[in-house]
Amino acid sequence: MTQALLTDAVPLLMRTPEEIRAEIQRALEARREAAGEGDAAEVRRIDIHVATYHWLVGDTDVAPYTGRRVPVLTTSDLAIEQSTGRDHAQQNTHRYDDPVRLDPEAVFDAISWARGQLDDPPSGY
């Protein structure tokens, strides 16, 4: 997949595909550590981060939260995937480890990092 652009000069994602792929590898190492510690919620979060990263770099066209087929990323697609996670975080209506909250927040965090809205990647911290 080619890098999608907001305009001719502004990339849709601030992280390069190489940075995202490197983060996939680092996140998988963090996942192994979390699994070894028996932290099922963290393993689930990292699995969702990794699935989101694969979608962002074009390894799959299936959106990580909604399951929609998205052959080319747009700002609207990113917003649709992020909206539920943002809403859960702001409303705080579920336990932090409830999958209803965990899954969309993990997608939100991974996209936010890839867009440059977070300095540190979300997996394993």
Grade residue 5 by pLDDT with cuts at 50, 70 and 90: very low
pTM: 0.85
For the stretch 20-53, what's the b/e string if a residue is b when 16 or more beta carbons lie within 10 angstroms of its beta carbon? beebbeebeebbeebeeeebeebbbbbbbbbbbb
pLDDT of residue 1: 46
Q: How far is it, in rounded angstroms, from Cα 117 to Cα 31?
A: 23
Q: Is the pLDDT of residue 78 over 60?
A: yes
Secondary structure (3-state) at 8: coil
Q: What is the mean pLDDT of the chain?
A: 87
pLDDT at 100 over 90: no
What integer pLDDT is reported at residue 84 of this predicted model? 78
State the residue for tokens 């959106």: 63
Domain ranges of the chain: 22-114
- What DSSP element (H or E) covers 77? helix 75-91
